[in-house]
Amino acid sequence: MQQLKPIRATLLGEQTAENDIKLLLPNFIETPEYRSIIETKDSTVVVGRRGTGKSAMFAKLQNFWGGQKGANVIAIAPEDYQTISFRAVFKPFHEKYSYVRSISRVVWKYGLIMEMLCHLAKHFKTRERISQFRTVEEHIKLWQAAPGGFFNKLIVRFGPTLRSGEEVELIIGSIHSDVNLVEIEAQFLELLKSSSVRFFILIDRLDEGYENDEMGAAIVSGAIAVAAELNKRYDHVRPVIFQRDNILRAVQKFDPDYTRNIEGEVIPIHWDTHQLQNLVAKRLNSAFSLNMEHVQKIWDRCTANEGLGRELQGKDGFKKCLQFTLYRPRDLLSLLNQAFFNAAREQRSSIVLQDVEKTAKTISGTRLDDLKKEYISIIPSLPVAVSMFEHGSPEMTYQDALGVLDGMSQALKVSNAGALAQQDYAILKSDGVIRSLYSVGFAGTHDENSNTFTFCHDGRQPDREFTAHDRILIHPCYWIALNLSRNALEPDEAEQINDEYEIKVTSVSPEIRSQRIGALIAELGSIEEGRGHAEEFEQWVLIAIQTVFAGHLSNIERKANGNAVQRRDIVGTNLAKSHVWHRIEKDYEVRHVVFDAKNYKSVGRDEYRQMSTYLHGQYGRLGFLVTRDDDDSLRAGAELDWVREIYTTDKKLIVRLSYKFFLKLLGKLRNPEKHDAVDSALSSLLDTYERRYLSLPSTRAQKAKK
């Protein structure tokens, strides 16, 4: 590798997504959570701790959906002064959680619908119709007349009413009618039906200036409820809210309907070793212009070993870096940025373990500070609790840990901790504090069966009772900050750390993904072949296409004018972002891709001719027939000749896809790392058609001469 260029402290990127767009978008890692968001409408809330990549996903989705034809992205990411002033609107209702949540739902729904209506007022297909809806027209004028951005418009629109001094119950009862919300919703639905616009609503940074109290939780709960409602009610509206996990835990604490209304909308972000190494490898490849593909080779090219036990190369070497982090992209980038900075100062082009260790203390302190900031409102005694373990051993028995925490009562008084912290400990006692420390990933427990220490990072309580001799371990990323008797794990000890971000994937996303795909595969078995069940097969094909080609095609739906007898065509917009779909757009001029679903095995001349009539204008010169045939290969004889005849005469290529083509790809997509298999399979099939089928001589038997 070449000598390092000018020394930079942000070689692998900035700490925040807002300042890292240049590197973030081309090097974005498509995690299972990201794929789930673009493939389905199952979840509306993406939740994660600080530094797990929420804002990065926000930026990527804004870029991805913003590049689609007919899509309008409404991106809301406020500054702290905006959320603080917005919160003040709800102050008259702060006495009851239910009051704030009720008002919050009205305010959020009105604001988001008005943002969409303002776009429809400019859209060529709906702007003329706006004048037919007087209520909507009047409210659009009021909304546009209000100065400032989204939150300021809400303050101007609702502030006078909510601060009028009337009885709060009367205000809650009349607020819907005051802003004509029911009528606006009905008229919005009518306008949406006559438009091809798809709305993508992205909401991030609601935690800016956020107070993690009952009123703050109610405001967020209202936003989530509205997002879920819009997502379910309107097919062409896709809202996604990005939320910190500590804020969502506050909502869970205060909202009596959390389990029923919110829990099912949440998709948590989790990172494992493989994904994090992919992230680092992509950035190293870009930073050093290596032009390499193998992830491990990229890492080994940029690292070196200092001797036995201090190896940084190899997968185990990468894991040594991870032990100083909480398996979060921000942690890892911060650590490696400083490590490469240290190496560059000594004119070295690769890092060693010593470079990592130099900056580990700062990183460890930052992680500990983050832990305190995130959870002090949920666990007020947390800062004093973690300080009780300073200057001690990282490993101890449960009985020893209780002994350490038994001194907390006095420590709280000495440190002048507030009444909330003292009350918190009085309620939890030492045993409850240990459970809380486990729930936030500060302490892990030893599993005798697997001989590993397991750490949890998603707020769950231990699933069993502790015994006096159970082994407790403080997470290695906090060791240096707490000045414990050891600063790093030995190589053999590292194998005993079972961080649930690394080994046990606690994210429900892969599980939900696998179950959903499995159900789709199984569903086909219940659909009988034949024209009588054509509608069910078409619906199955529609969902299969939406799943398999997510990210490749957009706005996949049944063709609007598909009312002809036995017409089974599905259309999706070609994004042309991958190699094979760019090839289809360039070679066959396909902007909108047609799939014709036939719920039987053998298709004849009529089916091929029918498909050929669809292929003109923006539909280009290539289409797909999806059948119940067991083989994707064309049969020698009439079928092969029909394909060649249509191609020779009209320059149109019709590709027949077996249902097994989709079953095979769905099976591979159970593992989200294999989404490139879709591109590879379709590219190979096109090669077969172009190289073999279209160049073969006619297979039709010649008639004998008389």
Residue 506 lies in a domain: no
Q: Report whether pLDDT(362) > 60.
A: yes
Q: Annotate 644-656 with b (16+ C-beta within 10 A) or e (fewer).
A: bbbbeeeebbbbb
CA distance to 310, 607, 634, per residue, from 281 (Å): 21, 48, 42
| Same domain for 281 and 246 | no
Same domain, 186 and 287: no
Cβ–Cβ under 8 Å, residues 302 and 351: yes
Amino acid, single-letter form, for residue 543: I
pLDDT (mean) for 620-625:
96
Which CATH number fits the domain that encloses residue 531? 3.40.91
| One domain, residues 408 and 520 | no
How distant, in Å, are the alpha carbons of 525, 584, 598 from that of 689? 29, 13, 20
Q: How many CB atoms lie within 10 A of CB 343?
A: 24
The residue written with tokens 């081309």 in the block is 26
294 and 215 share one domain: no
Quick one: average pLDDT of 382-408? Answer: 93
Highest mean pLDDT among 31-40, 203-212, 260-269, 617-626: 617-626
Distance CA 154, CA 107 (A): 7
Judgement on whether residues 468 and 612 belong to the same structural domain of the protein: no
What are the pLDDT digits (tens) for 487-518? 555 544 544 444 443 322 233 344 545 666 78
Arithmetic mean of pLDDT, 508-534: 77
Is residue 109 located within the same domain as residue 153? yes
**Strands 443-447 and 471-474, bridge-based pairing:** antiparallel
The answer to whether 246 and 31 have CB atoms below 8 angstroms apart is no
Q: What is residue 241's three-state secondary structure? A: strand
Among 686, 493, 347, 534, smallest CA distance to 355 is for 347
Q: Are residues 480 and 515 in the same domain?
A: no
Same domain membership, residue 430 and residue 406: yes
533-557: average pLDDT: 87
Closest CA to 381 of 440, 325, 324, 457: 440
Q: Among the three residues 236, 268, 300, which one is the final residue of a domain in this structure? A: 268
Structure tokens that stand for 566 in this block: 């036995």
CB-based contact 375:454 (threshold 8 Å): no
Assign 647 to helix, strand or coil. helix
3-state SS class at 658? strand
**Local structure of 62: helix, strand or coil:** helix
Asked if the structure places residue 1 within a domain, the reply is no
Q: Give all strands (DSSP E) within 269-412, no chain letters.
A: 395-397
Q: Give the pair of three-digit tokens for residue 525.
A: 């078995």
Q: Are residues 458 and 529 in the same domain?
A: no
Which of 462 and 332 is assigned the larger pLDDT? 332
Q: What is the pLDDT of residue 420?
A: 76
| CA dist., res. 226 & res. 237, Å (int) | 12
Which pair of structure tokens corresponds to residue 287? 């930073």
- Assess if residue 3 is contained within a domain: no
Least confident of 85-89, 228-232, 398-402, 484-488: 484-488
- According to the model, what pLDDT value does residue 45 have? 95
Chain segment 308-317, per-residue pLDDT in tens: 878 899 998 9
Average of per-residue pLDDT across 63-76: 92
Which of residues 441, 475, 499 is at a domain's end?
499
Same domain, 230 and 189: yes
235 and 349 together in one domain: no
Asked if residue 7 is part of any domain, the answer here is: no
- Rounded to two decimals, the pTM is 0.72
pLDDT at 135: 94
For residue 691, the enclosing domain spans 511-695
Rounded to the nearest 10 degrees, how much is the dihedral formed by the CA atoms of 380, 382, 384, 389? Answer: 170
Residues 667 and 689 placed together within one structural domain of the fold: yes
Share of the chain above pLDDT 70, in %: 88
Average pLDDT over residues 392-404: 93
Instruction: State the Cα–Cα distance between residues 567 and 582, nearest whole angstrom.
Output: 27
Would the pLDDT of 456 be above 80? no
Q: What is the pLDDT of residues 348-359, one digit of tens each?
A: 889 999 898 888
Start-end of H helices in 549-670: 579-588, 605-614, 638-650, 659-668
3-class secondary structure, 172: helix
Asked, for residue 702, whether it belongs to a domain, the answer is no
What whole-number distance in Å separates Cα of residue 272 and Cα of residue 322? Answer: 10
- Provide mean pLDDT across the span 391-399: 92
Single-letter residue type at 186? A
- Taking only the tens place, the pLDDT of each residue in 574-592 is 988 788 999 999 999 999 9
Measured between alpha carbons, how far is residue 177 from residues 181, 185, 273 in Å?
Answer: 6, 12, 53
Fill in the amino acid letter for 340: F
Last residue of a domain, one of 235, 268, 301: 268
Which range, 280-284, 461-465, 482-486, is most confident?
A: 280-284
Q: What tokens appear for 73 in the block?
A: 């992205």
Report d(CA 523, CA 519) in Å as an integer.
6
Count: domains in the chain: 3
The answer as to whether 11 is a domain residue is no
> How far apart (Å, rounded) are the C-alpha atoms in residues 443 and 504?
16
| β-strand partners of 623 | 594, 654
CA distances from 58 to 204, 333, 353, 448 (A): 7, 19, 34, 41
In a domain, 9, yes or no: no
Q: How many other C-beta atoms lie within 10 A of the C-beta of residue 249?
A: 23
Q: Say which residues have a Cβ less than 8 Å from residue 301's Cβ, sequence separation at least 6.
A: 1, 284, 288, 290, 292, 350
The answer as to whether 15 is a domain residue is no
User: 592-597 and 569-574: which strand pairing?
Assistant: antiparallel
Mean pLDDT of the chain: 85
For the cut 80, the answer to whether the pLDDT of residue 1 exceeds it is: no
